[in-house]
Amino acid sequence: MVPEFAIYYLDLVSLLIGAIGVLSIIYATFYTVYKVLKIEFTPGKRFHNYEHTKRTFIQKIIFALDFFVAADLIRLSIVAGVDEIMSIAIIVAIRTILSWSLGREIHLHKE
């Protein structure tokens, strides 16, 4: 069991790590929109550029998902109830499966 005084700090760390994940997704979205607009207004090999942009976006999303999973695992260490543990465990499992499937998508496009 986690000491009472540490719960506040662990919750704060969990929120900060989650915020880094959110900022990563915001950055990835704006960066991808910028790259797509640049591709649209620049003549050249569009398909290759779109695929590269897509892979980069997926990699950034996976990076952000890793932060969310880390924040959830920290939050999991401070909750007490079985219901809370099960709900966080399900969320972590869903995020892990999503990260795995996105990683698989990247590897399929590299071949």
Per-residue pLDDT tens digits for 7-50: 889 899 999 999 999 999 999 999 999 999 998 888 877 778 88
Confidence of residue 109 (pLDDT cuts 50, 70, 90): low
According to the model, what pLDDT value does residue 92 have?
Answer: 87
pTM of structure:
0.80
The mean pLDDT of the chain is 87
Cα-based distances in Å from 11 to 38, 41, 48, 58, 90:
41, 45, 43, 28, 19
Confidence of residue 89 (pLDDT cuts 50, 70, 90): confident
Cα-based distances in Å from 104 to 18, 51, 78:
24, 15, 32
The better pLDDT of the pair 94, 81 is held by 94
